[in-house]
Amino acid sequence: MTGRESDEIPHHLTKESLVDSVLHRSCHLCRFIIFHLKTHWAIEHLEGKDDLKEESTSLTESDFADSDFDHKAFPSDRVVILSYMLDMPENLNFHIKMSKSGDWFDGVFGLVEFDCDALNHDYIKAAIPRFWIFNDKAFGVPPMTSRLNDNTASEICQNTVKMWLEQCDGHDVYGARTHSFLPTRLLDLSNVETESKVRLVLSSELDQTTRYVTLSHCWGGEVPIRLTDATKDELEGGYKLQNMPPTFRDAIMVARWAGVRYIWIDSCCIKQDSPSDWVKEAKMMRNVYQNTYFNISADHSENSQGGLFRDRLAYKYTPCPFEAPNAGQVYFLPQFDLMHPLTQAPLASRAWVTQERFLSPRILHFTTDQLFWESVDLYACETFPQGMPPVYDNPTSWHYRTHMSTDRAQEPGKPGIYEVWGRVCEDYSRSRLTYTSDKLIAFAGIAGEFQSSLPHDKYLAGLWKGDLVVGLLWKAMALDGWPTQPNGSRETFADPYITAAKPDKYRAPSWSWLSKDMGIFWQTRARYTPRVMVDILDADVSYVNEEDRVGNIQSGHIKLRGRLRDAQWSKEGHIESIIIDGKSGDQLIVSPENPNAPPKVDSFHIQRDIGMELDVRNIVCLPMRLSVSPKAVSQDNPIIEGLILQPTGAQDTFERIGYFEANGEGYCQALLYELRGPTKDHDRPWDTLNLQPLPEDGDTRGEMKYTFNDKDFKEVEMVVITII
């Protein structure tokens, strides 16, 4: 396709040719096409046609026996093949359209679409996903050497896992690794093959360089086996493997694949009826996962009964070789979301797992469709065993760890360490906790790891002193059913102003996102020419145990100097707004100098933190950051971000109750200037403010230096306040 935008290639001219390609030549590209045509077609045509389903038994698994990819004939395949043999037009003129997306870039060449003269184009487009086109560069090796099986417990899967481990063991990061930490207790697997038993042992009896693996899983209710005073003797004496839940049994099998003798499973290695043991072990979680040989992640199982292994339609994830005109050997792979089984898995919504993924040096994911692998030097899956192409970005929190060092933060194109911190916090805040009281301790390991990369910074209840102004500008995000929705849904409430409730017990200062049960995000961490509008004078947090500065919090405060602007909170139905000196609502501002220019929107966006009735007489706005573009005044509006505060009753002391963003000069002016008193000369005094930039060299907008109507207005004075 060199030099051409697209090529159209004849594929199958007749129905007989297409079906024959599946039945007798086992082409899994054709199988994929028919499978998706069937799914779309069956919705419209097969409902209630039981006779068609009965007749489909005329096709048996032997019809598919010569498949190169060991595909089995599923009943749904037989139904569709028969149904198309009966109902599809004889002359299809089915063809492939290959569209070029540019030069070869990291192995990704373009897209493939299908069309058929005998069927409606929109029908085909809706039924069959588009395909990516890859070449060998994307796979590292020809993908057929790592073909997939129909079950994730297959020997091929085992060999793939061993290949990933061997590749990582040869990496400097792991080759030089010396394990000097072991969890307090481990499960010994040495008698699994001979006696089908596992035994709980104390690590103090073991060599401190002993390897162990860990398991991340969803409890999902009652776990059949837990370490308690009642079960301690049985576990130490030898617990029958057959009595273990499926997820635990499968994880033990995976550990044996890797030749590892010990495994750590939280429910079996932490005393579940001892609060003191739980607190002690929870504080060591950072070390437990940092020092694991690798972490086994039961992504798709909602509880311990789900197991790790799954049957699958392997051909859907096996790249199909294709000889393309003018491009040579390429591979087709469906353009569906390859990451969906990982990002939308039940385990992905569990808050503890955010920490487990972040801290583990290597992770082996078991999803509904295939295995995924994460390590410092490799992010891969069975489809791409040598590494994922850039088109598939790494979706998990653990990936951020590769950007954490202050050295890497200086690399061009790499996110800074505070930006990485923000992403991890966003992920964690949107995750689910069975007990919301665990919110601090389930995040302690991540905070401790960042502290080691920021030795001269001060950790402040989910924020960092070195990035405090930006850190304080988090925005609440309502989550459907938060925090106990079983499927980890992340849909917002219909009312965008209703967010999560404040916890019953004090957890953190109001300015900390950890103080409430909700999702959060930062609007942006990079504005044009930002200018800080407050002076941080002091910030500190007192802990219940001062030696544990990522643990339970007793109190916290931030003392700063800034401009406070009295305001009122107005609500009409679901619409909430801030009123400042009578100014409220979005307005279109037309430039008098250029009336033909597009009008600017002058608006004030708010987001309160918690669902509660607010005292509208006692609201203040604290502008914290001004951002403007270096472009001409007529092209861009200034933006001010800040906090909405409420007095606590103590002198000059406030609590955070929300976030605001003022867009446009009108509201930005209203935050920086106030009326001296009632005006008699004009019904709309804000129209007389008439701010004009001072004529100075360079960009004056970033400093907001204006001449103004000082008869009716005065600048808002700076005051010192404390936020708790």
Which one is predicted more confidently, 109 or 263?
Answer: 263
pLDDT at 76 over 60: no
pLDDT at 484 over 90: no
> pLDDT tens-digit profile of 433-445?
888 889 999 999 9
The pLDDT value recorded for residue 44 is: 46
The pLDDT value recorded for residue 582 is: 63
Non-local CB neighbours of 328 within 8 Å, separated by 6+ positions: 135
The pLDDT value recorded for residue 188 is: 98
Q: Which residues sit opposite 713 in a β-bridge?
A: 675
pLDDT at 492 over 80: no
Q: Could you tell me where the DSSP H helices lie in 302-443?
A: 340-343, 351-359, 417-429
Residue 543, number of CB atoms within 10 A of its CB: 17
> pLDDT tens-digit profile of 7-41?
667 777 777 777 777 776 667 777 777 777 665 55
Domain definitions of the chain by residue range: 6-128, 155-311+338-391, 472-724
Q: What span, in angstroms and rounded, lies between the C-alpha atoms of 260 and 152? A: 19
Q: Which pTM does this prediction carry?
A: 0.79
Q: What SS3 class is residue 99?
A: strand
- DSSP assignment, residue 151? B
| Mean pLDDT for all residues in the chain | 75
Q: What span, in angstroms and rounded, lies between the C-alpha atoms of 324 and 628? A: 50
3-state secondary structure 362-387: EEEEECCCCEEEEECCCEEECCCCCC
Q: What span, in angstroms and rounded, lies between the C-alpha atoms of 198 and 331? A: 45
> pLDDT tens-digit profile of 444-478?
999 998 998 899 999 999 999 999 999 999 998 76
pLDDT at 122 over 70: no
pLDDT at 527 over 70: no
SS3 percent helix, strand, coil of the chain, rounded to 5, is 30, 25, 45
* Segment 680-695 mean pLDDT: 50
* Segment 700-724 mean pLDDT: 72
